[in-house]
Amino acid sequence: MKKLNFLLIPKSNNFRDIIIINDIANELKKKGHNCLNLTCQINDENLIFLLSQTKIDVVFRVNKGKPENIKKNIRFICWVTDVSDLKNLSNYNEKDIIYTLKKCDEINKKIKVFQMLPAMNTFKKIETLSYYKLQNKIQSYQNIDFSFVSNFTATDLFTGNRKLVVHKNEINFKKHKAIEKLIKNLNKKFIIQSFGLIDYSKNLEKNIVFQGNINNFNFFFEIFRRSKFNILFEDEYLDFNTNFFNIFMVEGFLIFNNKLNYHIENYLNIDYDLGKISFSFDEILSFKSRVFEYLDDFEKRIKISKKISKFILKKHTYQIRIRKILSDLEY
């Protein structure tokens, strides 16, 4: 493949979205391509102007589609939640690519549409739970029973669309309520911590303690390591800012539901061991039996987490995602 000039546009200026774009850019540069990274999303008018002023071969845009009047010699890749999020598919040609977070069916033979999930982020040095095990610090270190980290950023929640904000807040509250109900049925006192922009625990019983928002990855990793059980925020598909891969990066133990498992298992090519920690939030008896099976057995948790961590490092990094994107561009 010849050297290409990429324009990379993040979902927003949130640090997690910027890191995704930086990971993508770094992998493209390793392959010999040039990258112009933006640090925020831009509107269609400004995008068209920018393309008129710079030599760009491929645009990679997250969470927004292709504008009209893009030069035909510029290839366009958009990465969205679902094809239905795109207003006008007639803007796309056979050289463009649409990636979706949700499972997708072929739209028509002229448009290339593929599912593509996020991946494990790249960091120079991240301590895993194995390190703390070697230091014999696990018992004192893992002092959170359950943690629950919201993926929503300020950009997601405060869009200016009041109906959308109310709807998202309702979804968030229901998720907190469902988790509270599950844990309450365990009939034991647990340390449960919730992280995010909005404190939903005020409207719940005192089982869940709100700890505020997280603004850097080091604190994310600290929470993932300190928690005996990390409860995944999503329940239907993995969001752009999912914690799924990074929890496994530090060998954290993850709980996610069967509905989500159904939507991602084919893409991830998940084996039996990963399915062991997947159980539905509405199955109280199953939840209870699994929690007490793993709660006081660190060795059992770390054995599964280490195996999955190795699997993710081998199959689901941005190096692998870029290999797929470049292959799709050549096809």
Residue 58 within a domain: yes
**Higher model confidence: residue 167 or residue 78?**
78
Q: Tell me the residue range of the domain where 275 lies.
A: 129-315
CATH number, position 111: 3.40.50
Quote the mean pLDDT of the chain. Answer: 86
**Cβ atoms of 14 and 153 closer than 8 Å:** yes
**Higher model confidence: residue 193 or residue 207?**
193
Question: What are the pLDDT digits (tens) for 131-162?
Answer: 877 767 777 789 999 998 887 777 766 666 67
For the cut 70, the answer to whether the pLDDT of residue 257 exceeds it is yes
User: In terms of domains, do 89 and 104 share one?
Assistant: yes
- For residue 187, the model assigns a pLDDT of 84
CATH number, position 201: 3.40.50.2000
User: In terms of domains, do 20 and 139 share one?
Assistant: no
**Residues composing the chain:** 331
Burial 240-250 (b: 16+ CB within 10 A, else e): bbbbbbbbbbb
Annotate 7-24 with DSSP letters as a single string. Answer: EEE-SSSSHHHHHHHHHH
User: In terms of domains, do 293 and 325 share one?
Assistant: no
Burial 46-78 (b: 16+ CB within 10 A, else e): ebeebbeeeebbbbbbbbbbbbeebeeebbbbb
**What distance in Å separates the CA atoms of residue 47 and residue 136, rounded to the nearest whole number?**
53
Residue 108's pLDDT band, with cuts at 50, 70 and 90, is low
User: In terms of domains, do 323 and 287 share one?
Assistant: no
Q: Per the structure, how many domains does the chain have?
A: 2
Residue 26 within a domain: yes
Bridge partner list, 113: 98
User: In terms of domains, do 84 and 206 share one?
Assistant: no
Residue 123 within a domain: no
**Higher model confidence: residue 228 or residue 132?**
228
**Higher model confidence: residue 8 or residue 167?**
8
Question: What are the pLDDT digits (tens) for 50-72?
Answer: 999 999 999 999 999 999 989 88
**Cβ atoms of 96 and 43 closer than 8 Å:** no
**What distance in Å separates the CA atoms of residue 185 and residue 23, rounded to the nearest whole number?**
41
User: In terms of domains, do 246 and 304 share one?
Assistant: yes
